[in-house]
Structure 1
Amino acid sequence: MSSVQKFFGKKTPPDEAVRKWRQSIRNQERSLDRQLRGIEIEEAKVKKSMKLLAKKNDVKGCKSLAKELVRSKKQKDRIYTSKAQLNSIVMQLQHQLAVLKVSGALQKSTDIMKMVNQLARLPEISQAMQELSMEMTKAGIIDEMIEDTFETLEESDVEDEAEEEVNKILFEVTNGMLGEGGEVGEVLPTKEEVVEEEPELNEMQARLQALKT
């Protein structure tokens, strides 16, 4: 009896096990898509708030929100990379099905092991990928990974964010009113008086942070 059959039961053939893994990975891709949409919605709100603060020459408030945008951009870049890795695993599993038809057995894959290892460190899908890793290990697709490899990625500290990147976002979002060295430029005249209340920075930052947990 193959290791896959031992793990999934006598009535579960290897090809069905692979399809189960592929479906699980597709579910994680959809989960990451939802994460991206949520981040983009919050980013739009933050940018609107930054424009209001810029008109009031609130450099400190704008800079605080700009740092949140830098962080969310890094998070989105990491998610896009992870989605590409998930898709690569699906393609590798498709190859496993082709090999199975010829040899009658699933083959160990170092490529899958490396990608699963990296994805298990992504906070958004860490738990699901760790479970998938254990299933694949028992099925003989990958080698058992040591516990240290499951440590999640840590967000960079605010002070570690590149100052030029923060200022670039300030300049872009505020249409040149702030940024490029962090100095305040001339406030552009507006046709209507800004009547919105000053945004709650802590609340805005909390919503962005909630998307990361």
Structure 2
Amino acid sequence: MGLFGKDPKQTSKEQVREWNSKLRKQQMLLDRQIRAIQREEAKVKAELKKAAKRGDRDVCVVFAKEIVGARKAISRLQTSKAHLNSIMMNMTQQLATLRVANSLEKSTDVMRAMQNVVKISEISGVMQDLAREMMKAGIIDEMMEETMEDALGDDELEEEAQEEVDKVLFEITDGVLGKAPSVVSDSLPAESVKTAPKKTEEEEEDIDKMRQRLEALRN
């Protein structure tokens, strides 16, 4: 075998180890992304509490929507991490199988997991390359393109996630806002409304910058 080329079994083992190394790096990337979104979410929470004390309900609602979006993004990334882990576990199992077999086997579990992560924007390029390599190795078949959107747009958030916004408002303002949609649509307690100051241009700019940072992290 040394005269005519590498042992096929050894080549497969090297390939699996390389894939697992790349997958671990992608998990670390997702971890960094999650931590970055969590840091921005913490800042938005602090600003929401300040706005609640000022009695600025409109700003509170804006911040609550940003927090809902951030939490959805974190959930999506955590799910992607779980899919990556599933692929790594399957590849590790394939390594064990190589002790008694000379080739890698097709895996429906890997196929399903790859379909879920190959379209995640944060890691899509690497995962598409890995998918092509796995197809050549016979681990998975050619995958169908997914057309479903991953994230809700602003309009959908208004229509479908208002309840989540209300829950966030209720949670962060200790029940002053967001107890129920009907309560959110009403005015704040009289003392809060009376003391609510008009937002300055600087405050408006800060809000816009915070929203842009969260949007950039989510996308």
TM over 0.5: yes
Distance 1:33 1:83 in 2: 8
* Deviation by residue 1:97-142 (Cα, 9 ceiling, x = unmatched): 1111101111111110111111112222111111110111111111
- Equivalence for 1:90: 88
Residue 186 of structure 1 and its aligned partner are, at CA, apart by 6.0
- Equivalence for 1:49: 47
Residue 100 of structure 2: SS of its match in structure 1?
helix
Q: How does 1:17-56 map to 2 (within 5 A)?
A: 17-56=15-54
Out of 83, 108, 111, the residue aligned to residue 110 of structure 1 is 108
Q: How does 1:58-207 map to 2 (within 5 A)?
A: 58-146=56-144, 148-149=145-146, 153-161=149-157, 162-180=161-179, 181-182=183-184, 183=186, 184-185=188-189, 198=203, 200-207=206-213
**Greater than 3 Å deviation, 4+ residue runs:** 151-154, 185-188
Q: Which amino acid aligns with 1:63?
A: V
Residue 153 of structure 1 and its aligned partner are, at CA, apart by 3.7
Decide whether the 8 Å contact of 1:177 with 1:187 is kept in 2. Answer: no
TM-score under structure 2 normalisation? 0.82
Q: Which amino acid aligns with 1:43?
A: E
Distance 1:54 1:115 in 2: 42
Report the aligned-residue RMSD. Answer: 2.6
Distance 2:124 2:191 in 1: 45
Distance 1:119 1:17 in 2: 20
Q: Percent identity?
A: 43
Q: Which amino acid aligns with 1:104?
A: N
